[in-house]
Structure 1
Amino acid sequence: MIKSLAHIGLRTRNLSAASTFYQSLGFESQRQLDVRDESGTIAVEFLQHQGVVLELYQLPWQTAVREEQDSGLDHLAWHVADLTAAETWVKSLGYPLVEGPCDHPAGSRYFMIAGPDGERVEFLQPLNR
């Protein structure tokens, strides 16, 4: 049975840019490796922040790039204690909001920024009701 989340895998067009982006949000690089298969070498990097592990990987061929509108990972969501402070922080890093801040019917207030590969990164604070 499932015990917990092991990691989040995110295919990227540019491993270095994705790593820099997520490190600016507080993730720390844990391990880098190259995985060889019949198509070439797949560059992989694992990053971690407060127990959450991201596996970033870049495929060796151009035609396998995930387009922004394709199906797949849509967004990552992070709980925050103070949404206003989180907004100030991400803006200070140079990342504009692409959605929100606004209320969600499920009982939270949130905003989103764009990641380097079209994924959205959500910051949310539960509302006290």
Structure 2
Amino acid sequence: MYNVAHIGVVVKDATKSSEFYTTVLGCQAVSGHQDDRVCLVFLKAGQQTIELIQYKQDAAGTRGAGVVDHIAFAVPDMEAALAHLQRHNVPLLFDQPKMVGNMKIMFFAGPDGERLEFVQQL
């Protein structure tokens, strides 16, 4: 079995998205790379790494299949986590958290409309 190295998410503005992921979600920017084709930002989210990818031309539009559906973040207290999102005016995708088995979940949108999720194990 292979370990996940990182999750890559295509964004329109790497700076704006990096600020959202660090300020709102508490990720830590650990490295980056920029050239004439792409701007990359690597963020630590607990034990995982998220790679924000901003293509400088329209390479993102020609990528086709393989879009990441969402990134889920574990939270210890859903109500506190949702209050934090609301203080930052983050759009929630449900009116209320949903129960899925022994988990409480809530989807919300990132700066480019990417689907993000909070999961609380009960």
Question: Judging changes above 3 Å, is the alpha-carbon distance between structure 1 residues 63 and 55 closer, same or farther for their aligned structure 2 residues?
Answer: closer
Q: Is the 8 A contact 1:100 1:110 kept in 2?
A: no
Q: Please name the residue that 1:52 is paired with.
A: 48
Q: CA deviation at 1:71?
A: 6.2
Q: Please name the residue that 2:16 is paired with.
A: 17
Higher strand share: 1
Q: Quick check: which has more Rg, 1 or 2?
A: 1
* Regions of 4+ moved over 2 Å: 62-66, 100-107
Q: Tell me the TM-score normalized by structure 1.
A: 0.80
Q: Secondary structure at the match of 2:32?
A: strand
Q: Tell me the TM-score normalized by structure 2.
A: 0.84
Q: CA deviation at 1:65?
A: 3.9
Q: Secondary structure at the match of 2:34?
A: strand
Q: Is the 8 A contact 1:100 1:111 kept in 2?
A: no
Q: Is the 8 A contact 1:13 1:65 kept in 2?
A: no
Q: Please name the residue that 1:125 is paired with.
A: 120
The percent of aligned pairs where both chains have the same amino acid is: 30
Q: Is the 8 A contact 1:101 1:109 kept in 2?
A: no
Alignment of 1:2-81 (within 5 A): 2=2, 4-24=3-23, 25-35=25-35, 40-62=36-58, 64-65=60-61, 72-81=67-76
Query: What amino acid does structure 1 have at the position aligned with 2:10?
Result: R
Unaligned stretches of 5+ residues in structure 2? none
Q: Secondary structure at the match of 2:97?
A: strand
Q: Is 1:96 aligned with 2:95?
A: no
Per mean C-alpha deviation after superposition, the further-off stretch among 95-104 and 42-51 is 95-104
Please report the RMSD computed on the Cα atoms of aligned residues, expressed in angstroms: 2.1
Q: CA deviation at 1:8?
A: 0.8
Unaligned stretches of 5+ residues in structure 1? none
Question: Judging changes above 3 Å, is the alpha-carbon distance between structure 1 residues 12 and 73 closer, same or farther for their aligned structure 2 residues?
Answer: same
